Structure 1
Amino acid sequence: MRQHGMKITLGDDWTATVTGEPLRVTPGFDFSSPGVRLAPYANREERERFLLDTFGSQEWLWDTPDTLGFDRVSRELVGAEFRLPHESASAEDCARLSSVPPVLPGGLRADEERDCRLEVTSVLCRAPGDAELTCLRDLDVLDEPLQARIGIAPDVALLVQHGTVVGWSLTDPARHLTSACAAPDPDPPSPATRRLLSACLDLITDPLLDEVQDREPAALARLREIHQALRVQREDRHRADALLSLISNLVEDYGDR
C-alpha cells in the first residue's frame, strides 16, 4: 500500500500527512521510564528546549500523554516519546498480530500548527523472544485488520486503523536498551541481555507486577533472582545497567521487606 500522502488522525481530530522521509534518529528504549524515545536531544536541558521549540502532543502539569514534537516552521515530525503500558496481552491475543502489514518508512507533517493529545497505549503485545513490542490503544484493535504501519524511524512504527493511529511498535528492543537520554550501545546485545530483558518485561507488566506489588513470595523470589543476575552480568554492562535501574527500584520498594 502506498503511504506517501496518506492522511492520518493522531488525536483530538488532529491530522497529519505521511511524507517520504522518516526520522533518522536512533530510538532509545529507556527502561527506567519505561518507554521509547526518538530524541534529537541529549540531556534534560536540551529536552526542555525541544518542547518549547515544537508543537504537538506534549505533557502538561500532571497530564502525561505520548509526545509528538513537530517543527514550527516545516511542521515536520522531529521527535517523539512513547510510554510502555503495564498490561500485557495474552499469548493468544498477541498471536492475532501475526498478519500485520509490512512496515513502510515515512515521516509525518502536521496539517496545521496546533497542539493535540496522543493518548498513551493501554496494552502490550510481545512477540516470541520479545523480538518486537507492539503497544495498542486497546485490545479491540485486534478485532479488525490494521490498515498500515508507518516506519517513522529505524525500528519504530505507528499502527494505523481506519485512518487513525491506534498504537506503535518497536523492533529488536534489546538492541535499543539505554537509560535516560543516552544513546544505545552500538554493539549488538548479548544473549544474556536478551534473556534478562524478557524476564524484566515480565516483572514490570501484569500479572507478575501485581504479584510483586502484593509481595507474593514466589514473585519476590523471582524479582531478587533477576536483580542478582543483572548485578553480576559482566558483558553488555550498559544495557544491564539500563535494566537494573528500574529493577533496583522494585527491589527497594517491595523486595527488601
Structure 2
Amino acid sequence: MTTKLKFDGGWSATVTDEPLGLVPRLLGTFLIVSPYADRVEREKFLADTFGSQDLLWDLPDVFRFAPDDRRLVGAEFRIPEVSASAEDSARLPVTPEVRPGGLRADEVKHFRHEMCTVLCRAPGDAVLTCLRDLDVLDEPLEARVGIAPDVTLLVQHGTVVGWSLTYPARYLTATYAAPSPDPPSPATRQLLSECLDLVTQPVIFDVEDGEPAALSRLRALDEALRSQREDRHRADALLALISNLVEDYADGPTGQKP
C-alpha cells in the first residue's frame, strides 16, 4: 500500500490510519468534507489551517491541515463540467479495494492542487468518480484511500489523480446543514441523474443553445423537483443545482414558454 502521496507542485503527504469522521455534504456540484456549518465558520476554518484553498477566480481542490500535527482536517472538491462517455466510464478500474486513511502533511506549506477535469458516472450514478484527465484510465490504479465515509482519493504512480463519492444522492443537501439521515428515495436518485445530465457537457451545450428537447427536459425536471413530496431536503438541493439554468433558459430564447 502506498504510504506517501504526491500532489501538484511537488507537495506531499503521508497516509495515516485516521480517516476523517465527517459526513460528506454535496451542495450541487460542490462536495464538502469539513467541519464548518456556514460561510463565516468556513473563513475561520481556512484562516486556522494550511494547505490548498480556493481564491478569487481560482477553484482548485481544497485540502486543509492543522498546523500543530499537520493532519488532514477537511477537504472540498468540485465535480467537473464534463461527463465522460459511458464507454470511458466503463473503463474505470474497480481495484484495488479502498483502504480507510487520513493524511499528514510532510511540511507546513501552502500548495495548489488542480481540480479534476472529467466526471465518470457509474450506472444509476451510484458512484461519481472525478479524474485529472482520461489518461488515468489507460493504467491501473495503485491505491484508493478512503479519507472520509464514501469519499476516496485515487492514486496512480504515487500521485493523487482523482477522487470518488459513493452513494452521492445520500449526501445531497441544500445548505451547509448535514444531509438527511434517512436514505434517499428512488425518485431522488433518478432526479439526481437527470440533473447531472443537464448540468454537464455535452447536454448542457444543448440547453445553452436552446435545443427544444433539452429545454423540455429542463422544464420537466424543474416541475418534477417542485412537486416531489418526499425527500424534500434533497429535492431542494437539486432545485438549487439547476436554478441558474431554469432562470436563464427554461423560458426559451425569447423569454416566452413554448
TM-score (norm 1): 0.96
Consecutive unaligned residues in structure 1, runs of 5 or more = none
Structure 2 counterpart of 1:190, one-letter code: S
Structure 2 counterpart of 1:37, one-letter code: I
Structure 2 counterpart of 1:211, one-letter code: D
Question: Could you tell me how far 1:236 is from its partner in structure 2?
Answer: 0.2
Q: Distance in 2 between matches of 1:101 and 1:46?
A: 36
Q: Distance in 2 between matches of 1:15 and 1:180?
A: 32
* 2:7 match: secondary structure: strand
Q: Which moved more, 1:98-107 or 1:124-133?
A: 98-107
Tell whether 2:172 aligns with 1:181.
Answer: no
* 2:176 match: secondary structure: coil
Could you report, residue by residue, the CA deviation over 1:105-140 in whole angstroms, capped at 9, with x for unpaired residues?
000000000001010100000000100000000000
Q: Distance in 2 between matches of 1:247 and 1:68?
A: 27
Tell whether 2:12 aligns with 1:15.
Answer: yes
Q: Distance in 2 between matches of 1:80 and 1:179?
A: 19
Q: Which residue of 2 aligns with 1:240?
A: 235
Equivalenced residue count is 252
Over the matched positions of the two proteins, sequence identity in percent amounts to 66
Q: Is the 8 A contact 1:147 1:162 kept in 2?
A: yes
Q: Distance in 1 between matches of 2:65 and 2:222?
A: 39
Q: Distance in 2 between matches of 1:56 and 1:245?
A: 29
Matches within 5 A, 1:82-93: 82-93=77-88
Q: Which moved more, 1:69-78 or 1:94-103?
A: 94-103
Matches within 5 A, 1:59-70: 59-70=54-65
Q: Which residue of 1 aligns with 2:95?
A: 100
Q: Which residue of 1 aligns with 2:210?
A: 215
Tell whether 2:52 aligns with 1:57.
Answer: yes
2:33 to 35, 38, 42: 38
* 1:242 match: secondary structure: helix
Question: Could you tell me how far 1:254 is from its partner in structure 2?
Answer: 1.0
Q: Distance in 1 between matches of 2:123 and 2:22?
A: 26
* 1:25 match: secondary structure: coil
Q: What is the alpha-carbon root mean square deviation over aligned residues? A: 0.9
Q: Which runs of 4+ in 1 moved over 4 A?
A: none
Q: Which residue of 2 aligns with 1:138?
A: 133
Q: Distance in 2 between matches of 1:216 and 1:235?
A: 31
Question: Could you tell me how far 1:145 is from its partner in structure 2?
Answer: 0.4
Q: Which moved more, 1:243-252 or 1:22-31?
A: 243-252
Q: Is the 8 A contact 1:39 1:181 kept in 2?
A: no
Tell whether 2:175 aligns with 1:172.
Answer: no
Consecutive unaligned residues in structure 2, runs of 5 or more = none
Question: Could you tell me how far 1:10 is from its partner in structure 2?
Answer: 1.5
Question: Could you tell me how far 1:98 is from its partner in structure 2?
Answer: 4.3
Structure 2 counterpart of 1:56, one-letter code: G
Q: Distance in 1 between matches of 2:111 and 2:164?
A: 21
Q: Is the 8 A contact 2:93 2:141 kept in 1?
A: no
**For the structure 1 residues 213 and 134, does the alpha-carbon distance in structure 2 shift closer, same or farther, using more than 3 Å as the test?**
same
Tell whether 2:73 aligns with 1:78.
Answer: yes
Question: Could you tell me how far 1:99 is from its partner in structure 2?
Answer: 3.1
